[in-house]
């Protein structure tokens, strides 16, 4: 993977959450809110049985922090190209979790190791020429019947575009349109591909009374983010 990406995230590893929270203040929520929101989406679709979870591009381990709270029976692994981010993740001492540095291409686990592989707003940082490779790697380490989740920023949403454009660690990234992400999964051979649009309204208190409407808007392609879920064939 691009060495520049590793250097960029090493540069920001120590204060990533503070920088991110400042960047997204227009949303009315802090950085950890959005990590937790993704895990809550998992909670609607997965059980708290003994599953193995892999977070590809885990950063400072925020997702694992919430996975340990919502899925106490899961064991988690997080991998990232940024060694300083991995240091931050390890410093949290999250139960049932391990964190490893990887080269951005070869996932350092054997075939069929995990029940779930997970990307949280990561692929737009990955060079387009290795998108196919990293998705195939995510499939390789999944058990038959395992699930992949890909969360991404939605380029159709103007607030999302503004946030990305003004984010210090999103310089020169290219956001992924949902159709492109679906094609990646289909090309890799995943089945039962489904998608959902999320985060339509700001999280300011004035909007709290209408946030429940988001459940009925999951089909509308203007949410701030979207995610795909797909299954590796048995």
- CB proximity list for 164: less than 8 A, separation 6 or greater: 153, 170, 173, 175
Residue ranges per structural domain of the chain:
6-232
Q: Which helix (H) or strand (E) holds 83?
A: helix 83-91
CB-side exposure of 86: number of CA atoms within 13 Å? 17
Q: Which helix (H) or strand (E) holds 55?
A: strand 52-56
Whether 56 and 119 have beta carbons less than 8 Å apart is answered as yes
Q: What is the pTM of this model?
A: 0.94
Which backbone phi and psi does 193 adopt, to 5 degrees? -80, 120
Per-residue DSSP letter, 24: T
Q: What is the pLDDT of residue 145?
A: 98
Which backbone phi and psi does 96 adopt, to 5 degrees? 55, 35
Q: What is the pLDDT of residue 13?
A: 77
Block means of pLDDT (10 residues each) for the chain, length 234 residues? 61 83 92 97 96 98 98 98 96 96 96 99 96 98 99 97 90 95 98 98 92 94 98 94
Looking at the DSSP bridge assignments, the partners of residue 187 are none
- 6-232 folds as Rossmann fold (3.40.50)
């Amino acid at each position: 993977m691009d060495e520049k990406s590793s250097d960029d995230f090493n540069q920001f590893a120590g204060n990533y959450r503070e920088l991110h929270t400042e960047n997204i203040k227009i949303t009315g929520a802090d950085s950890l809110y959005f990590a937790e929101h993704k895990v809550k989406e998992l909670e609607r679709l997965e059980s708290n049985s003994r599953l193995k979870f892999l977070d590809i591009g885990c950063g400072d381990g925020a997702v694992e922090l919430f996975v340990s709270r919502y899925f106490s029976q899961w064991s988690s692994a997080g991998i990232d190209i940024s060694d300083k981010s991995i240091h931050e993740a390890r410093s949290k001492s999250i139960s049932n979790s391990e964190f490893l540095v990887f080269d951005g291409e070869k996932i350092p686990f054997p075939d069929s190791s995990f029940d779930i592989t997970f990307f949280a707003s990561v692929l737009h940082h990955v060079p387009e020429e290795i998108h196919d490779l990293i998705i195939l790697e995510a499939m390789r380490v999944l058990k038959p019947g395992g699930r992949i989740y890909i969360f991404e920023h939605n380029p159709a949403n103007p607030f999302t575009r503004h946030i990305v454009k003004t984010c210090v660690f999103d310089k020169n990234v290219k956001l992924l349109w949902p159709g492109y992400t679906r094609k990646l999964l289909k090309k890799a051979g995943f089945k039962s591909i489904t998608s959902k649009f999320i985060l339509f309204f700001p999280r300011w208190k004035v909007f709290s009374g209408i946030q429940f409407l988001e459940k009925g808007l999951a089909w509308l392609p203007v949410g701030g983010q979207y995610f795909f879920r797909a299954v590796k064939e048995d």
